[in-house]
């Protein structure tokens, strides 16, 4: 079972230096995506590459601050490595066009990403506000400087789950099953498994807990109905 919010990967610079890369903190991701957005309208590969290099320059503020300028990026990072960084930094997988292929070892320069970017449709301010009330950060700049989007989504998921469980508890005190009322109630997998095992062991029944043929022996006695021991009768004299 995976326990990581995200994976940390390593890439090599041209001189062999390895740097650690992970999803960008929101502070850098916002600027990164703003620069990346116009790539959809580029007319040629040169324009696309310029945008990608600018994006990598922004990412280096988090990963390797020694690389500061566009020229530093061009001197230290090759195109395949740029693709890897884009994938880890912002989840952007670049497409490849066979028109640019010289041979199997030549990197191909895409004009557009494979998947359409929906960054502008994301209400980031609303999501940040939802977790800001936890009181961990003194301001939004500190929040954005310390967490990435995968971390933000993990915090949101946990917070919403805790809020729901609290409402569920309060509703139960009033005699209301919130899971059933909201359509979220699910069959207990442990109880379902025990019912299937009991049916399979006896050789009778489908394993469905609602199948009366599965009610045998001591289980039939406990439920008051079943095959073998659940039904009793007596002769009543007239």
pLDDT at 204: 46
**Long-range contact set of residues 127-134: C-beta below 8 Å, sequence gap at least 24:** 127/152, 127/156, 128/26, 128/152, 130/156, 130/159, 131/155, 131/156, 131/159, 134/159
Helix, strand or coil for residue 147?
coil
- Identify the weakest region by mean pLDDT among 69-73, 103-107, 196-200: 103-107
Question: How many H-runs (helices) and E-runs (strands) does the chain carry?
Answer: 10, 2
Distance CA 110, CA 77 (A): 17
Enter the pTM of the model: 0.64
Lowest mean pLDDT among 72-76, 183-187, 198-202, 228-232: 228-232
What integer is the mean pLDDT of 166-170? 83
> What pLDDT, on the 0 to 100 scale, is given for residue 208?
53
HSE (CB half, 13 Å, CA atoms) of 111?
Answer: 10
Contact predicate 133/126, CB 8 Å: no
For 18, list phi and psi in degrees, rounded to 5: -95, 135
Q: Is 100 helix (H, G, I), strand (E, B) or coil?
A: helix
pLDDT single digits (tens) 149-159: 999 999 999 88
**Average pLDDT, stretch 30-52?**
92
The pLDDT tens digits of the residues spanning 96-141 come to 543 343 344 444 444 444 444 467 788 899 999 999 988 999 999 9
Residues 73-106: tens digit of each pLDDT: 999 999 999 999 999 999 888 755 433 433 444 4
Reduce the DSSP state of residue 6 to 3 states and report it: coil
């Amino acid at each position: 079972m995976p326990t990581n919010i995200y994976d940390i990967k390593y890439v090599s610079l041209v001189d062999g230096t390895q740097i650690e890369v992970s999803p960008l903190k929101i502070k850098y991701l916002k600027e990164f995506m703003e620069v990346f957005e116009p790539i959809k309208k580029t007319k040629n590969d040169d324009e696309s590459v310029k945008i990608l290099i600018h994006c990598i320059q922004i990412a280096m503020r988090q990963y390797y601050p020694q690389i500061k300028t566009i020229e530093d990026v061009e001197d230290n990072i090759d195109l395949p490595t740029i693709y890897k960084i884009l994938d880890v930094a912002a989840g952007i997988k670049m497409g490849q066009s066979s028109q640019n292929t010289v041979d199997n070892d030549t990197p191909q320069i895409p004009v557009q990403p494979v998947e359409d970017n929906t960054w502008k449709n994301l209400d980031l301010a609303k999501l940040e506000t939802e977790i800001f009330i936890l009181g961990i950060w003194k301001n939004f700049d500190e929040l954005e400087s310390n967490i990435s989007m995968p971390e933000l989504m993990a915090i949101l998921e946990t917070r919403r789950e805790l809020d729901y469980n609290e409402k569920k508890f309060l509703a139960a005190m009033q005699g209301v099953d919130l899971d059933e009322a909201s359509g979220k109630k699910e069959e207990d997998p442990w109880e379902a498994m025990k019912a299937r095992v009991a049916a399979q062991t006896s050789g009778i029944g489908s394993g469905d807990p609602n199948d009366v043929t599965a009610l045998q022996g001591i289980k039939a006695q406990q439920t008051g109905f079943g095959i073998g021991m659940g039904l009793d009768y007596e002769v009543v004299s007239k």
